[in-house]
Amino acid sequence: MRFLTAGTAVLAWGVLSASAQTGSKPEFEVATVKPAAAASEFHSRGLMAGGPGSADPGRLKYDGVTLRAALATAYGVKPYQISGPAWMDTERFDISAKVPVGTNKEQFGLMLQNLLAERFQMAVHRDKKELPAYSLFVGKGGPKLKPSTVSGTEAPAGGEGGHGAFGGGSFGRGGGFGGGGDSHGGAAGPARPGISSIAFGGFAKITGTAMPVGRLATALSEQLDRAVVDETGIHGNFDFVLQYEPDSSRGAGGAAPGGAFGRGGGAAGGGDHQHGGDSAPPLFTAIQEQLGLKLEAKKAMAELIVVDRAEKTPTGN
């Protein structure tokens, strides 16, 4: 979850105010927004690619995405920080645009905000509200995290919610959350820092290489659709594997599954989890048994982007 300090909030509004004062309106060079065909099960939450910080900075291409996912990327927040009509989670759209050369992430966000506001005749406002969240802390037996010996730079972000740290942070398709694939190497090459996820049937796995616990908390927040605040006090980078049943995420506090996991490659690792057979442990059990950590329900203040008005059918291109 993105917690805003007073300085951050002033900066965020300062960017918007500066744009308004100069009379400029950051826009893509060419853009189309149209209803998408029914999304396949394989890409159940759509695909998001391109933009600053990605492998294709001059092009935005979103296929079969929800308005909530697009707004989360535009405003640099998590999907659960977007409040609006229910159809934002059911209607899907294809969005493509040419990004001007030299556009940075802040400018890109404003361009996407303006595009969505124009095509969906949308009005939004910012708010703050106390929302359900989770605290991640060390269990009674101590952490079961392996200090990493891997060095290097984490791969650029990819997949849905890409654009590096700017994006909404959802898990990329093909198992990447910033890692663009399995960060533990194998056929993909030498191990490098990153975090990835796969989900297949009743099995899910989060794999981290040379990652701080805070990145694990971010990954968990995507699955739980709530903020997960790292209160472990643990410093350093670690290698870890968390294997669990994805539909068990309703755990303590009654959080509904976030469904943010992409369908990764076929190597779902069926049967390699600690509980054996065809079943994986519930998420809250897996975190404690496999990592020596615990999740506990709490409340936390968060910024919200509230959609006051939006048309379900985008205007012509």
SS3 call for 188: helix
Half-sphere exposure of 112 (CA within 13 A, CB side): 33
pLDDT in tens, 16-30: 433 443 457 899 999
Higher pLDDT, 285 or 9: 285
Same domain, yes or no: 186 and 269: yes
Distance CA 80, CA 305 (A): 10
Q: Are residues 94 and 157 in the same domain?
A: no
Q: Please list the residues that pair with 242 across neighbouring strands.
A: 206
**Owner of token pair 């739980």:** 224
Q: Does the residue 317 lie in any domain? A: no
First to last CA, the chain: 34
Of 182, 167, 175, 134, which is closest to residue 42 (Cα–Cα)?
A: 175
pLDDT at 177 over 90: no
Distances, alpha carbon 250 to alpha carbons 247, 284, 290, in Å: 7, 9, 19
- The total number of structural domains in the chain stands at 2
C-alpha dihedral, 73 to 86 to 47 to 3, nearest 10° = 30
Domain that holds residue 284: 131-301
314 assigned to some structural domain: no
Do 269 and 215 fall within a single domain?
A: yes
Same domain, 121 and 141: no
Q: How far apart are alpha carbons 89 and 310 in whole angstroms? A: 13
When mean pLDDT is compared across 76-85, 181-190, 235-244, the lowest value belongs to 181-190
In a domain, 1, yes or no: no
- Domain membership of residue 315 (yes or no) is no
Shared domain for 153 and 294, answered yes or no, is: yes
- Residue 10 domain flag: yes
**Do 124 and 173 sit in the same domain of this protein?**
no
Question: 78 and 177 in one domain?
Answer: no
Task: Kindly state the percentage of the chain with pLDDT values over 90.
Answer: 58
How many other β-carbons are positioned within 10 Å of the β-carbon of residue 231? 15
**If you average pLDDT over residues 33-53, what whole number do you get?**
75
Q: At what angle do helices 67-75 and 105-119 cross, to 10 degrees?
A: 140
Amino acid identity, residue 118?
E
Measure the CA–CA gap between 289 and 78, rounded to whole angstroms.
28
Q: Are residues 254 and 162 in the same domain?
A: yes
- Residues 71 and 183 both lie in one domain: no
Q: Both 41 and 155 in a single domain?
A: no
Is the same domain home to 45 and 107?
yes
Average pLDDT, the chain: 77
* Domain identity same for 207 and 111: no
Per the model's pLDDT, the better-predicted residue between 10 and 38 turns out to be: 38
Tell whether 316 is covered by a domain. Answer: no
